[in-house]
Every structure is written in C-alpha cells, then in structure tokens.
Structure 1
Amino acid sequence: MLAKILQPLIVKSFIPARKTLSRKGDNGKVLVLGGNYLYHGAPILSSIAALRAGSDLVYTCVPKINVMSTRAFSPNLIVVPLVDVKLTRGSVQKLLGIIPKELDSATMGMGLGIQDREAIKILIRSLLDRAVMISLDASCLVPEILPDIQDKKVVVTPHAGEFRRLFGEMPPDNVKQRTVMVEKYAKDNGVTILLKGPTDVVSDGTQTYLNPKNIAAMTVGGTGDVLSGVVAAMLAKNKNPVQAASAAVFVNGKSGYLAQKKYGLHIMATDLLDFIPFAMKSFDKVK
C-alpha cells in the first residue's frame, strides 16, 4: 500500500474542532496508568502531555509509593493510587471500581511494574467493554495481549525492541522495509501500530502514515511517555486510531523540533511538554 508522509493539512483534518459551548469533560477524560519505584516520572509526563494536547480531565493512576511525588509535581493531575506496588489482579479490580465509568481513552504501560500479566489482560478487556479507546506502551507490550486487542481499535506504541517482544521480529532500519513489516503485523493482528523511530511509522494495515523527524535530541528518555499522553488525548477526540496516532506523532515530533531549536541537543522530555501548545496552535479549531 502507498504510505503517506504526514503534512500539516492532513494532521489538521485528524484533529476535531473544540466546541465553544463544551463543558468540562467534553474534550476528553483520560486515564494514565504507569510508574513504579524506579520510573515515577513516566506517567507524569504522559498525563501533562494529555492535558497540554487538549484533554479536560486526566486521571493518573500510579502505585501508592509514587502518589505523593506525583501529586506534588502538579495540581492539575487527579491522582489515583494503585493499591499494590505492581499491577495485580486485585489492584485492577479495585482500580475499576474507582475510575469514572465514562472514560474516553486510556494509555497504559509507561514505567509500569506488572506482577501478573493476566491483570493487564483483565484491565484491557474491562476498558474495552466500556468503549474506552486504548493505547498501550512499554511493559504492556507483551504477546499475551494480542488476542484481546485484535480488531478492537487499539493502538500499540512500541520502539524497535518492544516491537520484537510483541511480534517476535526485529524491525529493519530501512524505512521502506520497516513500513512493510509494520503494515503486515498491523493487518494480521487487527491493531494500529505506531512504531517509534527517526521516522515514525503508523499503520492499521489499510492506511499508513510516515512521520520523518530525524531529531537527534529526541533520544532523551521520556519523549515516548510524552507521545503516549498525546496519543491518549487524540484518541479521546478522534475514535479513528490510525488518524489519532498519526496526529499524535506529528505533534510530538513538532514539539521535539521546537525544543531542539531552542535548546540544541540538550533537551529534556519536560521541554516537549512546554512546546505542545505551540505545536498544536495551527491546528486549533473552534465551532
């Protein structure tokens, strides 16, 4: 199939207008689930990114050992404690009883410790039953999830190593070969794949978009967590996964470009958060 290079006009068509008379929550209610004792910052980055990308409410679920630091980082976050240090079946059941019934989207896995892989499968199935749009990253990208997400409009956001863990094959460096592989696995598994790299490849097996970034500074840790938050924000507004994921990679890449333009090769992931509004400004629409 013919892959399209993402351009501003394409991306603008993927981001719905914001209604002037909308109320709190109408522009997205998002769940972020991640973090562990070591990686406490990952879900914070995702959550702030989702807010910066236009979500109204973000529920940040982290292990209880991370709750205080997460709340201290920003008063904008609604922090939900995960009762166990790692994800377990019991903590999933308690989480499902706490979070709002009418979430629009969820992004899960960034820095998340998982004790029982069956727990993440239970959570995925429960959220899908509630018609929640889902994006999966990092530790959630394990082969066991594939039967539960097949043909369910789920987005997976691996880098090359996570792609290999999930699908069993390492993506080549060559962009054309890489694209063919992403398209194959997206079609075979009925998912939208966002393969991160110097050129991001997004495909649902039918439509494919490429986002050539080649931004050297974006190798810094945390930029993928920012992307996950933007993906969740886009999924909350556009229920077409390949369009939402494509808009997200473009906005994330543009934010990285603006950060590198200001700071050179010395950016941090938090710098991207500051530039998301500027990256999205030309796509803002109100009706």
Structure 2
Amino acid sequence: MATRLQPAIIRKFIPPRKRDSRKGDNGKVLVVGGSHMYHGAPILASLAALRSGTDLVYTCVPKIITSSVRAISPNLIVIPMVDAKLTRGAANKLLGQTPSDLDSATIGMGLSIPDEEALKLLVKSLASQDVRISLDASAIVSYILPHLPQKNIVLTPHAGEFKRMSGIMPPSSIKERTSVVEKFAKEHSVTILLKGSTDVISNGNQTYVNPKNLASMTVGGTGDVLSGIVAGLLARNRNPLESAAAASYINGMAGKMAQKKNGLHIVATDLIDNIPAAMKPFDRITK
C-alpha cells in the first residue's frame, strides 16, 4: 500500500541544521552533466542543490561550455570535463579532480554518454567512496543496473526513460503504475522516483505517492531541478528513499508556488526561486 506524502512525513526526512556547523557540514554535492546543446541542465540541478541547503556544489561540465556555465552564477564551482562527452578518459580525469569527501552526486542531465564503460567507471568509483548517487536522463540505462551498489542509488526517470531502462511502459493507472515501480525497485535494489502528474517513489519495500497535478510543470528543466534537490537532500539525509520522497514533495510545492504566481507560463528557474519557501516549514536548527 502506497502512502501519500504529507508535511508531517517530510519533516522527518529533512535533517535539522546544527547551529555551530561549518562549511561543508551540510553537504558536498557533485553534478555531472551538460553538452554542447544542453548547457542549462547541470546549471539548474546545481542551483537547485544549493537552494535545498547544500553547502558546496561541484558542477562538472564539458570544457566547451564551462565559460557559459560559469557566467550564469558566481555560486557555482565549475570543473571542466576534458572531453565534450563522458569518455573513460574524462571520467578518470574527473575522479582525480573532485574532492574525496563528497556526500552525493547526480549524473546524467544533458550529458552525452557514448561509452558505457565510462558511466560504469564513474558510478562504481564514486560508490566505492560511499557517495550516494542519483542518476537521471542519459544515465538511466539498462546496462548500468548490474553495477549499482545495492540500496544506495536513486533513479529519477520519466515514463519514457523508465521504458528505455526496463522495457516496460508505466501504465496510466496509479495503482498499476505503483505496482510496476515497486517490482522493478525490489528486483534491482534501487530507489525509483518515477516522475509524472503523480510521482511514485519506491525502494520495493516501501512506497510513497505525491500527486502534483500541475499542468505547468511539463516545461523543460523541472526534472533537472528535481535531480538537484534529490542530490542536495541525499547529501544531508543519506537514506535514498527518504531523500527522494522529500525531493519530490519540495519540487512539487515549488511548482505549485510558481504556477500560482505565473499560471501556465513558468520556467524551471521559477521552481528554484521557490525552493526556499517550499522548504521553510521544515527548517530547524539544533545545538
């Protein structure tokens, strides 16, 4: 039986911030994405991770777009990827440039991956460092499934990406959709956040649903924002299911706030602007 997400549940999933915490204590996130065409996707994910409360975000994008990405915001720490696509050489170089104490990473938004061994190398290397990982977009592929560390991975597909990964198109019925997600998550020991008008989040043993029903959130980039929130929360709450569920809820609330202001004419950055307000009810400071 799936549980509908409510504020009381989300409050348990978002850790409080310690009053005496220092830079880095509230999360260090790696974002790997982007290409010549899709330079905005990793920017959206990175800014969303920062707005979710992460202290440090390292944005790794192809060298050809680093200047453009850096120009968007002084808040981004940009790492140039040596190749225009994720090759084994680029993955090895990236692993040598990133901090050894990362908390989480999100991979795939706007990223071109011509070599499946490169993605395997990146995921397995980060996982061996106990980094929690979220995979999105081009990183949601069937060949990566046997190489995922059990129970420490979040996959955030929309229906088409889920079909590409599993061979199954999620049914339109929420009950049937939930059943398909639960079965796949259990079989592969991962957490699935299936995006849609109602998000379905499951690790195969426990399932949440988050009805959003926001016609405006079909605009491009809202999934990239979600990936950034997932990574940001994974950096603080190391539990993949709880982090994915909380991210779905926060992303949806930010979308509702944006739609209330702009009607059916929102853009993805409107969601980022509303993340602080969406998270404010859950902000707590402890000693």
For normalisation by structure 1, the TM-score amounts to 0.99
2:227 partner amino acid: S
**1:96 paired to 2:95:** yes
> Which residue of structure 1 aligns with residue 220 of structure 2?
221
> Which residue of structure 1 aligns with residue 263 of structure 2?
264
**1:61 paired to 2:60:** yes
Report if the CA contact (8 A) 2:127-2:149 is conserved. no
Distance in 2 of aligned mates of 1:39 and 1:224 = 13
Distance in 2 of aligned mates of 1:262 and 1:196 = 23
Deviations 1:79-126 (A, max 9, x none): 000000000000100000000000000000000011201100000000
1:72 partner amino acid: A
Deviations 1:161-196 (A, max 9, x none): 000011111001111100000000000010000000
Distance in 2 of aligned mates of 1:43 and 1:274 = 16
SS of structure 1 residue aligned to 2:80: strand
SS of structure 1 residue aligned to 2:17: coil
| Shift, 1:69, TM fit | 0.6
**1:47 paired to 2:58:** no
Structure 2 unaligned segments of length 5 or more: list them. Answer: none
Report if the CA contact (8 A) 2:159-2:169 is conserved. yes
**1:174 paired to 2:167:** no
Mapping of 1:1-287 within 5 angstroms? 2-287=1-286
| Shift, 1:152, TM fit | 3.9
Distance in 1 of aligned mates of 2:206 and 2:10 = 14
Distance in 1 of aligned mates of 2:7 and 2:65 = 38
Distance in 1 of aligned mates of 2:87 and 2:149 = 23
2:244 partner amino acid: A
Distance in 1 of aligned mates of 2:206 and 2:155 = 15
User: Following TM superposition, where does structure 1 have runs of at least 4 consecutive aligned residues deviating by more than 4 angstroms?
Assistant: none
Report if the CA contact (8 A) 2:29-2:105 is conserved. yes
Report if the CA contact (8 A) 2:104-2:232 is conserved. yes
Deviations 1:111-154 (A, max 9, x none): 00112011000000000000000000000011110001151410
SS of structure 2 residue aligned to 1:22: coil
SS of structure 1 residue aligned to 2:265: coil
Distance in 2 of aligned mates of 1:90 and 1:137 = 21
Distance in 2 of aligned mates of 1:241 and 1:85 = 30
Report if the CA contact (8 A) 1:150-1:189 is conserved. no
SS of structure 2 residue aligned to 1:107: strand
2:167 partner amino acid: G
Distance in 2 of aligned mates of 1:86 and 1:117 = 11
For normalisation by structure 2, the TM-score amounts to 0.99
Deviations 1:211-257 (A, max 9, x none): 00000000000000000000000100111110000000000000000
2:216 partner amino acid: A
Distance in 1 of aligned mates of 2:18 and 2:30 = 22
Q: How many residues align?
A: 286
Distance in 2 of aligned mates of 1:211 and 1:178 = 13
Distance in 1 of aligned mates of 2:165 and 2:202 = 16
